[in-house]
Amino acid sequence: MTSNRWSDLDRPPLNQAALRKALLGEGSLWTDLEVVESIGSTNTELATRAREGASAPGSILVAEEQTAGKGRLDRAWTAPPRSGLFFSMLFRPEPPPERWGWIPLLAGVATAGALARSAGVDTGLKWPNDVLTTGKGAGAPECAGKNKGDAPEGGGERKIGGILAERVGTDSVVLGIGLNVTLREDELPVPTAGSLALAGAQGTDRDPLLRAVLRAVEDWYGRWTAADGDATAGALLDAYAAGCVTLGRTVRASLPGGGELVGEAVAVDGDGRLVIASEQGVQHPVAAGDIVHLRPATGE
C-alpha cells in the first residue's frame, strides 16, 4: 500500500457516526456534527455557513487538518493531520451581548476540566485564551492554579490549546478550539508548545477526548445561560480564577500602539477582564481585545 500522510496508524481518523450518536439527540445543545478531512479554518467555514443560513445554532464542525487555522489576532495555528482536535461550534447566546466575552473563558474552564478528567493530566488556563499542561504530574485536580506559588513563574507549563470566539452578525458566536493531542517534540511549532502525549496523558484517543470536551462545554454553557450570563452567579468566575495560572504573577501586557502595562495580575473581574495592579497600587482592568501580548514580566 502506498503510504501517505493520512495513513499514520498512530493517528486514526475520528468516527463521525459514533460522535453524532453520542452527542446529538433530544435535549442536547448540539444539533449537528460534521467531520471533514481538511479545511482552511473551521471558524471561518462555520461562520460563512451561519451567514448563509446553512448551519444552525448547536452545529459543530471538526477538521482532521486545518491549513489556515488561526488564533487570536489572526495568528497562525498549524499542526500535522490527525495530531489534534480542531473544531468550532455555533451559538446563538441568550444572555445580553455585553456578557458574551465570557464564552471563550467558559470554554477554557470546560476544556481544562475535561482534559484533566479524561486524560489524567494537570491543566491550567493562561488568560485570556490558552489551555496549558502544567507539568506537575498526571492525575491531579481538575484545574491547575490552586497552588500557583508552588512552581516558578511559567515553569513546566506548555501551551496545548487555544480558544477563539468570533461574532457572526448581531446574534451569533462561533467558538473555535484547537488542541494538540499526539504532537511529538520535533513537530511542535514553538518550544513553549506541548501536547497531551508529551504531558503523559493516560490516553490519546481523540474520540473520547472530543466527546468529553463537548459535553463539558455544553454543561458550562448551560450554567452560564441559566445565570443570564452572570459569571459570578453561575460559579463560572470562581472556576476560572481557580484554574488561571496567570493570577498572582507579575505580567507585562503589550498594548496596541506600542505601550505596555506591568504589574501583578490580581483578579479576573465580572466582565472577564484581567485586573493588573501597578507598583503604585492602581488597578487596571484590561479586556482581551485591549492587549497584543501578555507575558511574564521577566520574559519568556
> What is the overall mean pLDDT for the chain?
89
Domain-embedded: residue 5: no
Domain-embedded: residue 6: no
Determine if the pTM surpasses 0.85: yes
Q: Which residues contact 183 (CB under 8 A, 6 or more apart)?
A: 79, 80, 83, 84, 193, 194, 195, 197, 198
Domain-embedded: residue 3: no
pLDDT band at 57 (very low <50, low <70, confident <90, very high): very high
Rounded to whole angstroms, the Cα distance separating 203 from 182 reads 10
Cell numbers that stand for 253 in this block:
501586557
Number of domains the chain is built from:
2
Domain-embedded: residue 216: yes
Domain that holds residue 161: 16-242
The reported pLDDT for the residue numbered 297 is: 84
CB atoms within 10 A of CB 40: 13
Q: Is residue 254 located within the same domain as residue 180?
A: no
Q: Is residue 179 located within the same domain as residue 276?
A: no
Give CA angle at 187 (65, 85), nearest 5°.
Answer: 35
Rounded to whole angstroms, the Cα distance separating 134 from 245 reads 9
Q: Is residue 226 located within the same domain as residue 111?
A: yes
Domain-embedded: residue 270: yes
Q: Is residue 182 located within the same domain as residue 257?
A: no
Q: Is residue 147 located within the same domain as residue 261?
A: no
Q: Is residue 253 located within the same domain as residue 115?
A: no
> Looking at the predicted structure, is the pLDDT value of residue 287 above 80?
yes
> Looking at the predicted structure, is the pLDDT value of residue 75 above 80?
no
Q: Is residue 258 located within the same domain as residue 171?
A: no
The reported pLDDT for the residue numbered 150 is: 38
CATH number for the domain including 125? 3.30.930.10
